Amino acid sequence: MALNLCNLGGKLVLVTGAGTGIGQGIAMALAEMGADVALHYSRSAEGAREAVAQIKALGRRAIAIQGDLGVVADCRRVADEAAAFLDSVPDCVGRVPHRVVSCCRSQPVRQRLVQL
């Protein structure tokens, strides 16, 4: 259980690298604080699906999106799918994610996400 340092109710977040480890932990903590979360994963489909189920059990909305963030087209698709999902949250039409939390290990990947 995360320390509830702030209320993120109504906030929309995309967490990259959220299939396992720190990224998954961050996604869970943000959901526990009230955020709706789009979880990106590269190869950790099972971990991402488990995290989505846990987040939904908290009463939050969540989706897992696969993509190789070393490929620019995948970066754009992940961002587009996350925005489409998060915009589908009731009463949130037209809003884009408030935060993108990148837990990727690659500096070039992080730079590509910033450029998007």
Task: Choose among 27, 33, 89: nearest CA to 61.
Answer: 89
Check whether domain 12-115 has CATH 3.40.50.720, yes or no: yes
Total count of residues recorded for the chain = 116
d(C-alpha 113, C-alpha 116), whole Å: 5
> Tens digits of per-residue pLDDT, 16-74?
899 999 999 999 999 999 999 999 999 999 999 999 999 999 999 999 999 998 888 99
Answer whether residue 112 shows pLDDT above 60.
no
pTM: 0.74
Mean pLDDT to the nearest integer, 86-108:
50
- What's the burial of 30, exposed, middle or buried (CB within 10 Å: 0-12/13-18/19+)? buried
Burial of 116 (0-12, 13-18, 19+ CB in 10 A): exposed
Contact (CB, 8 A) for 44 and 15: no
